[in-house]
Copies of this chain bind each other. A is one copy, B any other.
Amino acid sequence: MKTVKVGMVGSAFMGKAHSVGYRDCAFAFPYVKAVPVMKEICSLLEDEARAAAQRFGWERWSQGYEHVISSDDIDLIDISTGNNTHKEIAIAAAKNGKHIFCEKPMAMNAAECKEMIEAVEKAGVVHMIDFNYRRVPAVSLARQMIDEGKIGTPYHFRAVYLQDWIMDPDFPLVWRLSKDKAGSGAHGDLNAHIIDLARYLCGEFDSVCGLMKTFIEKRPLLNQEPDKPKKMGSVTVDDATVFLAKFANGAIGTFEASRFAGGHRNGNVFEINGSKGSVRFNLERLNELEYFDLTEDQKYQGWKTILVTEPVHPYVCGWWPSGHIIGWQHLFVHQVYELMNGIAEGKSPSPNFYDGLKCQYVLDAVEKSSANEQWVKVLE
C-alpha cells in the first residue's frame, strides 16, 4: 500500500483536529489510494511539540518548522499555524518538493496567495486548502442535488457564520484580534468558510458590498501583572462583517460573520433558493440537510429533514449504521481521504490553492468595499 509521510506544522486546535484526519483515514476508508503516516509534528516551543506528538500520535517532533520541511522522509507538509505564517511556510515547503495542505484562510491577502500559487506550480506539488465544510456529508449531498438539477436556477444564497466567544468585554486581546497576526477577525475566520461554500454550491462572485464592524475597541492585554492597573490594547480587526453579493449567474446573496451573536456557538447556517427547490444546513446539526422540493404536489410540499447517515450518502459508508451520527472531527477524515487520493493520482483535489485565491479575492473586495462604502467588483 502506498503511503504519504506527513509533517505537521502547528500543534494547537487545528493541529489536534488534523491529527484525527490522518489517524482515522484508513480506519474509515481502508480502500483509500494512499495511507498517511504521522511522521513529525513541530511547534514554536519544543515542549508543546513533544506533548502534541505523544497525545496525537506522531512518531517524532521538532521545534520550528525548518526541520520538518527539510526532512527527506516527509512527503506532505500540513500548515496549521496562524494566518500570517502560511505564505512563508508554504513557499519553503514547495521549494523542497513537499505537497501542501494549508489551513484557511489561505493567506493574509490575494498577493500572498499568488506567490504561494507560483511556488506550488513551479514545484509541481499537490496542494489543498482546508475548507473542511465541503466535506460534511450533508453539504456534499447538497452539491450532488444541485448537480442533479434539484435546485434549478439559483436565486438566493443566504449564509451566516455566527459565534459568540468574545462577547465578554474582559476577554483579552488574543492574536486573533490583531490585524498584523490574523489579517482580519470574523471576516477571514468565518466569512472565508461561507464564501467557499457559496462558490462550491452557487457559483462565482461578481461583486460585493460590505460593512466591517468592531463593537468593542479596547480589550485587556494578555499577561497582565497582578495588583497593577489593567493594561488595555486596541482591537484592530472586525468583530463582525456583513456583506451583500451579486453572483455571476444572476443570483444574489447575503453573508454575515460575527463573534457577537449571543447563543450561536458555531452557527454556520446557509440556504439556497432556486427555481426548483431549496436546501438549508446548520453546522450545529451537521448530520441533517433540509430540502424543499417545489416540483412536488402542492398538497405534500414541505421542508424535509434528511438525516444524512445512510450508506448511500457521501462518506457515510466508512462509519456507522443509519442514524448513528458523526461529529465535527469527522470532516477532517474526509478531507484527508480526498487529499490522499489526490496525492496518489498526482492531482490537487478541490478545494485547492486556486480556490483559496478566489476566496481571498472576495474577502479583499469586501474589505475594500467597507472602506469605500460602495460596491466593489470581485477580481477573477
Contact = CB atoms under 8 A, between A and B. Distances in A.
Nearest to A151: B262
A62 interface: no
A292 B263 CA distance: 6
Given A167-B275, A278-B261, A321-B13, A211 B306 contact: no
B322 A329 contact: no
Contact of A307 (B265, B294, B321, B375): B265
State the number of copies, please: 4
A155 interface: yes
A267 interface: yes
Interface stretch (A65-73, A89-97, A118-126, A250-258): A250-258
Interface string A322-365: 11111111100000000000000000000000000000000000
A374 to B, nearest CB: 4
A218 to B, nearest CB: 15
A281 interface: no
A200 interface: no
Nearest to A213: B252
A52 to B, nearest CB: 11
A328 to B, nearest CB: 4
B298 A310 contact: yes
A303 interface: yes
B211 A246 contact: yes
A320 interface: yes
Contact of A327 (B276, B326, B374, B375): B326
Contact of A284 (B27, B246, B321, B323): B323
A266 interface: yes
A163 interface: yes
A43 interface: no
A158 interface: yes
Given A55-B27, A240-B155, A327-B327, A262 B160 contact: no
Given A215-B250, A261-B278, A278-B262, A320 B313 contact: no
Contacts of A17: 320
A5 interface: no
A182 B40 CA distance: 47
A305 B302 contact: yes
Contact of A156 (B240, B252, B309): B240
Contacts of A301: 263, 306, 310
A26 B13 contact: no
Nearest to A250: B215
A11 interface: no
Contacts of A80: none
A274 interface: yes
A244 interface: yes
A309 B265 contact: yes
B263 A240 contact: no
Contact of A374 (B276, B302, B374): B374
Given A164-B294, A299-B310, 13 more contacts: A155-B215, A155-B258, A156-B240, A164-B273, A167-B294, A209-B209, A209-B244, A242-B244, A260-B273, A262-B273, A262-B275, A264-B323, A266-B322
Interface of A: 13, 17, 26-27, 30, 54-57, 141, 155-156, 158, 160, 162-165, 167, 209-211, 213, 215, 240, 242-244, 246, 250, 252, 254, 256, 258, 260-267, 273-278, 283-287, 291-292, 294, 298-307, 309-310, 312-313, 319-330, 373-375
The 8 closest A-B pairs by CB, nearest first: A265-B323, A266-B323, A263-B292, A327-B327, A302-B306, A374-B374, A304-B304, A326-B327
